[in-house]
């Protein structure tokens, strides 16, 4: 019982170290997700601008309808792929944070 007060500073230091390690893992994972979102937005903008330009240059209503159809299909597919990527990245982020030393040891 007499050792308990002396152990408090070590426990606090361990807790701070654990929080710092998990925060660093979270920050790195958030940076990767942010980079992915920015790249996706850039690619969507380029694609959408290309479709808009093609629609302006279309020679008939049938061409515009075909472009619009292709745009809707490709947009849906690209968002589905991106959603899967982001879901996986979020799951990896959770694993990285929970595996950060010494958080995983403290939870065990």
Quote the percentage of the chain above a pLDDT of 70: 82
Mean pLDDT of 20-34: 91
74 with 7: CB under 8 angstroms? Answer: no
Let me know: does 71 contact 51? Beta carbons within 8 Å: yes
Give me the domain span that covers residue 62.
4-107
- pTM of whole model > 0.85? no
Please state the rounded mean pLDDT for residues 24-28: 90
Report the 3 state secondary structure along 16-84: HHHHHHHHHHHHHHHHHHHHHHHHHHHHHHHHHHHHHHHHHHCCCHHHHHHHHHHHHHHHHHHHHHHHH
Question: What was the pLDDT predicted at 1?
Answer: 47
> How many domains, the chain?
1
Measured CA to CA, the distance from residue 96 to residue 102 in angstroms comes to 12
User: What is the per-residue pLDDT across 41-69, written as a single tens digit (0 to 9) for each?
Assistant: 999 999 999 999 999 999 999 999 999 99
């Amino acid at each position: 019982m007499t050792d308990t007060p002396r152990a408090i500073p070590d426990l606090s230091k361990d807790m701070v170290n654990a929080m710092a390690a998990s925060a660093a893992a979270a920050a790195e994972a958030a940076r990767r997700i942010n980079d992915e979102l920015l790249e996706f937005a850039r690619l969507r903008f380029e694609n959408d601008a290309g479709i808009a330009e093609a629609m302006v240059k279309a020679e008939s209503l049938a061409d515009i309808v075909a472009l619009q159809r292709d745009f809707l299909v490709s947009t849906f597919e690209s968002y589905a792929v991106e959603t899967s990527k982001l879901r996986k990245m979020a799951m990896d982020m959770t694993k990285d944070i929970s595996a950060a030393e010494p958080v995983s040891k403290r939870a065990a």
